[in-house]
């Protein structure tokens, strides 16, 4: 594994007004810049934050320093203009490995316990989120943890995201969160090849599931994904049928055997506050 290049920044602003795919939120919040999970399909690879970097996506991370008090001030100020609904995170994972040591995300949660937003949506694939259950419980129904589980096959996961956490660990994390009374969601995004048993594995773990694919979820109708040459990986693995626009509806039908219609969400609707 390559060594990680770690940088630091001291931003003067944390909250960014939400737009595009995340319209419905007032703001997005990213504790870090960059992400060492380095998923091959990550749409951020095709965004300016990476395109102007000399290092490869996944080889660098920037830590945002001393930002908890700044966040409190920004939430307090934003509340004067209406409800504050936050999506964390839109271009990084708040529970990537460096969070073990740096605890930037935890410091932000502590700030949000003190100055609570109207709603916080946490999107992650890191089981480390369970470390912060004490803070999440204090946010009550103002928070939802959405755990990315693209497939039930670790072999498939390794083909697309070898540095991302194992699938079983993520499912166990969801189970712990549910047992702790924390609102949760399993997010199959982007939809990767899975077995017919996948829905059953999630049936007792979460009350809601969001399914998203490359075509709806990359923010450009699939164009960013095409540039990342995802279709070539599917072809190499002999899984071309999984890289079709109607696959998402076939998978949804599988999930309807274990979840009701009002428990299943497609693409953007599953991320809304």
Decide if pLDDT at 46 tops 80.
no
- CA 185 – CA 148 distance, rounded (Å): 9
- Note the pLDDT of residue 269: 94
The number of angstroms, rounded, from the C-alpha of 242 to the middle of its chain's C-alpha atoms is 22
In 3D, which of 135, 131, 134, 130 has the Cα closest to residue 120?
A: 135
Decide if pLDDT at 267 tops 80.
yes
The two beta strands, 209-211 and 27-28, are unpaired
Is the Cβ–Cβ distance between 147 and 167 less than 8 Å? no
Summarize the confidence of residues 129-156 as an average pLDDT: 97
- Note the pLDDT of residue 218: 57
- Note the pLDDT of residue 189: 93
- Note the pLDDT of residue 179: 96
What is the value of pTM for the model shown?
Answer: 0.94
More confidently predicted of 223 and 185: 185
pLDDT band of 3, cuts 50, 70, 90? confident
Alpha helix locations (H) across the chain? 48-51, 68-78, 99-102, 104-114, 133-139, 154-160, 167-179, 198-203, 214-217, 223-227, 230-237, 247-255
- Note the pLDDT of residue 71: 98
- Average pLDDT, whole number, for the chain? 93
Summarize the confidence of residues 154-172 as an average pLDDT: 96
CATH topology (fold) of 5-270: TIM Barrel (3.20.20)
- Note the pLDDT of residue 2: 66
Decide if pLDDT at 29 tops 70.
yes
Decide if pLDDT at 128 tops 70.
yes
- Note the pLDDT of residue 226: 73
Decide if pLDDT at 53 tops 90.
no
Tell me how many helices (H) and strands (E) the chain has.
12, 11
In 3D, which of 208, 141, 132, 130 has the Cα closest to residue 174?
A: 130
Partnered with residue 6 across adjacent β-strands are 61
210-239 pLDDT per residue, tens: 999 988 865 566 666 677 788 888 999 999
60-96 pLDDT per residue, tens: 999 999 999 999 999 999 999 999 999 999 999 999 9
- Note the pLDDT of residue 220: 61
Summarize the confidence of residues 132-144 as an average pLDDT: 98
- Note the pLDDT of residue 239: 93
Is the Cβ–Cβ distance between 57 and 120 less than 8 Å? no
pLDDT band of 242, cuts 50, 70, 90? very high
Length of the chain, in residues: 273
Summarize the confidence of residues 172-188 as an average pLDDT: 97
Decide if pLDDT at 1 tops 60.
no
Q: Look-up: residue for tokens 């460096």?
A: 98
Q: Centre a 10 Å sphere on the Cβ of residue 10 and count the other Cβ atoms it contains.
A: 9
In 3D, which of 205, 213, 212 has the Cα closest to residue 185?
A: 205
Summarize the confidence of residues 43-58 as an average pLDDT: 78
């Amino acid at each position: 594994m390559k060594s990680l290049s770690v940088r630091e920044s001291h931003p003067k602003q944390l909250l960014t007004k939400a737009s595009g795919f995340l319209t419905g939120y007032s703001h997005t919040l990213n504790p870090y810049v960059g992400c060492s999970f380095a998923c091959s399909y990550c749409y951020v690879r095709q965004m300016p934050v990476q395109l102007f970097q000399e290092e490869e996506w996944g080889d660098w991370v920037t830590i945002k320093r001393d930002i908890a008090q700044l966040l409190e001030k920004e939430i307090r100020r934003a509340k004067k203009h209406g409800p504050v609904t936050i999506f964390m995170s839109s271009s990084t994972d708040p529970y990537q490995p460096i969070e073990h040591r740096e605890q930037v995300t935890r410091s932000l949660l502590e700030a949000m316990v003190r100055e609570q937003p109207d709603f916080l949506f946490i999107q992650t694939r890191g089981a480390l989120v369970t470390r912060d259950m004490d803070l999440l419980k204090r946010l009550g129904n103002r928070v939802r943890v959405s755990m990315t589980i693209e497939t039930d096959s670790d072999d498939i996961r390794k083909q697309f995201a070898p540095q991302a956490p194992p699938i079983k660990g993520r499912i166990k994390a969801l189970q712990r969160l549910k047992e702790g009374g924390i609102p949760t969601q399993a997010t199959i995004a982007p939809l990767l090849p899975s077995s017919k048993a996948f829905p059953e594995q999630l049936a007792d773990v979460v009350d809601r599931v969001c399914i998203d694919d490359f075509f709806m979820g990359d923010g450009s109708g699939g164009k960013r994904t095409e540039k990342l040459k995802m279709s070539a990986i599917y072809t190499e693995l002999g899984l071309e049928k999984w890289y079709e626009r109607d696959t998402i509806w076939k998978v949804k039908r599988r999930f309807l055997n274990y979840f009701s219609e009002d428990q299943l969400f497609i693409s953007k609707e599953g991320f809304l506050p």
